[in-house]
């Protein structure tokens, strides 16, 4: 991902929304048998999360982990952290009620920053230095500040959500607490192997995150769902008429 000449199909190179696509065989991965083909599309963001949390390993068994952001990446990050032995909670907003419900159905603890009781409890945990890892998956400046205020001294803060270039953060807090910051952009060959291994071991559930499957001709409806924050993940299936 850090190669300055890298070009991704669908962003740097046209061709992501196509009925057929040709790629080098070396880039292909054999998915576990029985994995839903639409859910398999989420292997890519899962690999990104594996890159953030597993290479090197961030979460230790018994760690208290707070994941900020209840979208697909946040719920995937929570599942990966749980697979590593973390005690995980997904934090969203009132607008994330549907997404938080999905996270809850997967056995994950959830809370909302719009709920004063949840905020008071999380703040108390942070003040008591009981939060070992914070994973920011929302890509929101306020969420970054919240995450840094929660993580314990010498704890881990992981930035997964994409942010604008200029973000104001309490960097003095990073210094005085000796917070260990890791940022992650994209995936690596190793993280893809880790993602497939987690799926093969049934450690991560993908199907619950698929909210809609649409044909390519309904691309405008798919983008409206994205803009309106409908569901969690919309998938294109070029085989649909």
Q: Using one digit for the tens of pLDDT, what is the confidence trace for 149-186?
A: 999 999 999 999 999 989 999 999 999 999 999 999 99
- 46 pLDDT band (50/70/90 cuts)? very high
Higher pLDDT, residue 158 or 12 = 158
**CATH tag, 58-183:** 3.40.50.720
pLDDT at position 241: 82
> pLDDT tens digit string along 170-229?
999 999 999 999 999 999 999 999 999 999 999 999 999 999 999 999 999 999 999 998
Q: Residue 17 pLDDT more than 90? A: no
Distances (CA, A) of 115 to 6, 108, 110, 157, 180: 43, 18, 11, 23, 28
Cα–Cα distance measured from residue 66 to residue 215, given in angstroms and rounded to the nearest whole number: 36
* Phi, psi for residue 40 in degrees, rounded to 5: -60, -20
Instruction: Output the CA torsion 119→120→123→124 (10° steps).
Output: -150
pLDDT at position 18: 87
Sheet containing 156-159: order of strands:
109-112, 87-92, 64-68, 133-136, 156-159, 180-183
> pLDDT tens digit string along 92-123?
999 999 999 999 999 999 999 999 999 999 99
Q: Residue 25 pLDDT more than 90? A: yes
Averaged pLDDT of the chain: 95
pLDDT at position 2: 83
Q: Residue 54 pLDDT more than 90? A: yes
Give residues with Cβ within 8 angstroms of 221, minimum separation 6: 214
How do the domains of the chain map onto residue ranges? 58-183
Q: What pTM does this model have? A: 0.95
**Residues, the chain:** 241
pLDDT at position 172: 95
Q: Residue 6 pLDDT more than 90? A: no
Q: Residue 4 pLDDT more than 90? A: no
> pLDDT tens digit string along 128-147?
999 999 999 999 999 999 99
Q: Residue 16 pLDDT more than 90? A: no
């Amino acid at each position: 991902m850090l190669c300055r000449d890298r070009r991704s199909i669908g962003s740097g190179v046209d061709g992501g929304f196509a009925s057929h696509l040709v790629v080098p065989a070396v880039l292909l991965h054999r998915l576990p048998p029985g994995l839903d083909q639409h859910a398999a599309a989420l292997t890519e963001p899962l690999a990104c999360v594996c890159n953030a949390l597993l290479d090197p390993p961030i979460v230790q068994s018994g760690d208290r982990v707070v994941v900020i952001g209840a979208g697909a990446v946040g719920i995937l990050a929570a599942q990966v952290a749980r697979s590593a032995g973390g005690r995980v909670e997904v934090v969203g907003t009132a607008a994330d009620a549907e997404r938080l419900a999905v996270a809850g159905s997967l056995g994950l603890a959830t809370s909302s920053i719009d709920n004063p009781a949840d905020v008071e409890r999380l703040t108390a945990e942070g003040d008591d230095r009981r939060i070992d890892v914070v994973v920011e998956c929302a890509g929101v400046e306020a969420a970054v500040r919240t995450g840094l205020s929660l993580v314990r001294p010498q704890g881990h803060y992981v930035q997964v959500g994409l942010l604008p270039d200029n973000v104001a953060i309490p960097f003095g807090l990073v210094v005085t607490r000796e917070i260990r910051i890791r940022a992650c952009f994209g995936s690596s060959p190793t993280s893809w192997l880790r993602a497939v291994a987690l799926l093969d071991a049934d450690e991560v559930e993908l199907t619950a995150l698929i909210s809609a499957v649409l044909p390519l001709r309904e691309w405008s409806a798919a983008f409206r769902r994205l803009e309106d924050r409908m569901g969690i993940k919309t998938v294109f299936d070029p085989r649909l008429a």
